[in-house]
Structure 1
C-alpha cells in the first residue's frame, strides 16, 4: 500500500475513534438480590440512589470518586455533613450534581433520572419493595437504563463483599475491589482469630441506634448490622432474640432487666434533622469533648437507671454511619477493644482507619469517630 494511502487510512481511523469512541463492553453482574443485570462497563455515568453510596464508590476511585456521578440522593449533607463538607472542599463541583429524593418516600423523580442518561442506577436493597411497587425497573429497562442493587445496611456482614465486587466490575476496578476486600477481611480476622484462641466470656452489650435523635428509647439492632458486629467482636447482643430482623425497638424496661455490661450508642452530627438534639455528634473531625458531654447526658435517662454499664462507665459512642458503608471492620475492631481491653491492648482501630484512608480514600484521616466515658 502506498505511503499516502496508509497515512490517509490512519487519519480516517483516528477521526472515527474521536467521533465514535470505543463502546464499553457488555458485562453481566449479579446484584445482591440475585438478579443478573447487563450493563455496559466500565460505566461512565452513574446515579447514586443514596448519597452515602459515595463511601464505597470512593474506595474504588481515590483521585475523584465523583467524576462519573451524574445524580445522587440528597441525604449526605444532612446525614453526614462533616464528610460532605470535606468532599465539597476538595471537589467544589459536587454542589452542582443534580439531587433526588428517595425511592421509599416516593420522591424519586424517574423522568429526571432518565434525562441524565446514566449507564446504571445504584439502589440500596432496602428500597427494593418501593422500587418494584412503582414499576421502576421495567420503566427504566424500556429506555435502556439498568438498575443494580447493593447492600451495606440490611445484611452488611453478608453483602459487603459481593456489593464491592459488583462495584469493582461496574467501575472496571475489579482488582482494587479485591484489594479492599482483603484489607477488610484481614482487619476482621485480627479480632476473630484472637477471640477463637482465647475464648473470653462475652459481655452483654446494648447497642442503642441513634440515641438522643428523638425522645423515645430505644431503637436497636437484631442479628445483623451493629448487632452482628458486637457478636463478631466478642460480645452478646442484648437485642438479639428481642428484635427478629436487622432493625427494631426494645422498651426501657427490657434494657433495665437485661442489665447490660456495656452500652454502645450510635451517633452523628444531625443538626439538619434534629436541631439542638441530644444526639452524640461523633464523625469525621468531630469535637470529642462535646460528644462526651452529650453521651454522659444520655446516661441520665430512665432506660439506663441502675444499669451496670452506666455504673461502671462502660458507655461508648460510635459513628452511626458505620452501619451503612464497607468500613464497618473498623467498628468491629473498636468494639472488640471496648469489650476486651486486655485481650486487644495492642489493637489500634484508629491506625486501621488511617491506613484505609491512606490506601483507598481521597480524604485524609481525621479522628472523631469514637468516644467513651471510660476514657477519663
Structure 2
C-alpha cells in the first residue's frame, strides 16, 4: 500500500464513480474528477474559465464552434493567452443535427456537457442512447432558459464534475452577494417607482423588429433590478417577439439593447458590438442609429436618451449578476450612485478568470 501511494503524482486525486443530478433531474453516473470533457457549446468556456482559472481548456477535448461567431472579441482575447484553443476539434449543434457522434466517441470524453435547450433534440435524435452504449454520459446545465434559478445548481454540478466544489461555492457566494447589493437596497424602498423597460434582444442582428424576452433571462434581470419588463405581458415564455406598435403603445421609460461582435454571423450588420475592449464611440453611434427605426423615434426613452446597450452573452453565462447591477444603475441612478458594476466585473476577472478585464460591455446614449 505504501509503495502504491508513493507512486501517485503529487496532488493527484483518486477518481471515483459518483451519481450526479443534472439540471433536468436526471441521475447520471460519472467518474470524477473528469479529465476529458466535450462542451456542447463553445460559450461554455465562460464557466470552465471560472473554475479552471489557470487553464480553462485543460479538460476540453472538443467543443461546439460557436464561441468565435457569437463573441468574436471575447474569443480573440482568450486566444491571446491560450492559442491551443484553435486546435481543438469542433462540433456542430445537437439542435441542427450536425453533431458528429463518431467523432465524439473517438475523443473518448468522460462527460459531454450540454445546455438545457439541446435536450429535446438530443433525445429525439437518439444521441443519448448511442452515447450511453459506449459509456459516455451527458449532463445538462442551464444559464439561458431560467438562469436566475439554474445558475447556482449548474455551477455546483460543474464544480463536482471538475473536483472544484470549493471554487464553485466561492463563485456562487460572490454572485449572490453582488445581487444582494441590488435587491436589499430595492427592498428597503417603501415608494419605489419601477420604470417600464423594453429589452431588445440582439437589436440590429436582422432587419426584423423586435426580438425580446418574456419573464425569464434578461426579462427577469430587469425585474430584479427594479424595473418592469414591458414584454412580460406579451411574451409567454423566455423568448419571443414584439412589434413596433406595441413599443409605441407601451412608451417605455428605458430601452436596453443586447449586442456583441457578430461580424462572423452578420458581416457589417447594424448590431451593437459591445463586449471585451469595444470602442464606446463606435458602439454608441450604432446604438443611436438603431433608435431611428419605426417604433422607437417617438418613445419617451429615446427622447430622454435613456437608451443603453449591454453585452448579449450575459444571457448565456454565469455572469448575469453583472448585468443585474448595471441595469439597476441605469434604472435607479440616484439610488445606486455608489454601485460600481465595472468594479464588480473587474473583481470577477481578478478572482476567477484567466484573462484581464477590458471595458466595453456597456454603452449609453446619455
Normalised by the length of structure 2, the TM-score is 0.97
Count, aligned residues: 363
Distance 1:271 1:53 in 2: 20
Which residue of 2 is the match for residue 338 of structure 1? 330
Which residue of 1 is the match for residue 344 of structure 2? 352
Residue 284 of structure 1: CA displacement? 0.5
The 3 A distance-change label for structure 1 pair 28 and 341 is same
Distance 1:106 1:348 in 2: 43
Distance 2:176 2:4 in 1: 50
Note if 1:361 corresponds to 2:347.
Answer: no
The 3 A distance-change label for structure 1 pair 170 and 10 is closer
5 Å-filtered alignment, 1:36-47, equals 36-47=27-38
- Equivalent in 222, 233, 254 of residue 225 of structure 2: 233
- Equivalent in 271, 283, 288 of residue 291 of structure 1: 283
The 3 A distance-change label for structure 1 pair 342 and 138 is same
Residue 234 of structure 1: CA displacement? 0.1
Which residue of 2 is the match for residue 265 of structure 1? 257
Note if 1:171 corresponds to 2:162.
Answer: yes
* Runs (5+) with no aligned partner, structure 2: none
Distance 1:36 1:10 in 2: 36
- Equivalent in 298, 302, 306 of residue 310 of structure 1: 302
Residue 87 of structure 1: CA displacement? 1.1
Distance 1:46 1:345 in 2: 43
5 Å-filtered alignment, 1:207-222, equals 207-222=199-214
- Equivalent in 26, 38, 46 of residue 35 of structure 1: 26
For the 8 Å contact 1:210–1:320, the answer to whether it is kept is: yes
Note if 1:253 corresponds to 2:245.
Answer: yes
Residue 153 of structure 1: CA displacement? 0.3
SS of residue matched to 1:240: helix
Note if 1:129 corresponds to 2:120.
Answer: yes
- Equivalent in 99, 106, 119 of residue 115 of structure 1: 106
Residue 13 of structure 1: CA displacement? 7.4
SS of residue matched to 2:51: coil
- Equivalent in 130, 135, 151 of residue 139 of structure 1: 130
Distance 1:285 1:350 in 2: 13
- Equivalent in 161, 177, 181 of residue 186 of structure 1: 177
Distance 1:94 1:338 in 2: 36
Deviation track 1:113-144 (CA, whole Å, cap 9, x = no partner) reads 01000000000000011001011111111100
For the 8 Å contact 1:284–1:367, the answer to whether it is kept is: yes
Distance 1:241 1:112 in 2: 44
Distance 1:232 1:12 in 2: 54
Which residue of 1 is the match for residue 97 of structure 2? 106
Distance 2:13 2:182 in 1: 46
Residue 55 of structure 1: CA displacement? 0.3
Deviation track 1:314-362 (CA, whole Å, cap 9, x = no partner) reads 0000000000001000000000000000000000000000000000000
SS of residue matched to 1:71: strand
SS of residue matched to 2:295: helix
Which residue of 2 is the match for residue 372 of structure 1? 364
SS of residue matched to 1:297: helix
5 Å-filtered alignment, 1:67-82, equals 67-82=58-73
Deviation track 1:213-246 (CA, whole Å, cap 9, x = no partner) reads 0000000000000000000000000000100000
Distance 1:13 1:344 in 2: 55
Residue 305 of structure 1: CA displacement? 2.7
Deviation track 1:18-60 (CA, whole Å, cap 9, x = no partner) reads 8xx9851011111010001110000000000000000011100
* Runs (5+) with no aligned partner, structure 1: 1-8
Which residue of 1 is the match for residue 56 of structure 2? 65
Note if 1:242 corresponds to 2:237.
Answer: no
For the 8 Å contact 1:256–1:304, the answer to whether it is kept is: yes
5 Å-filtered alignment, 1:19-30, equals 24-30=15-21
SS of residue matched to 1:207: strand
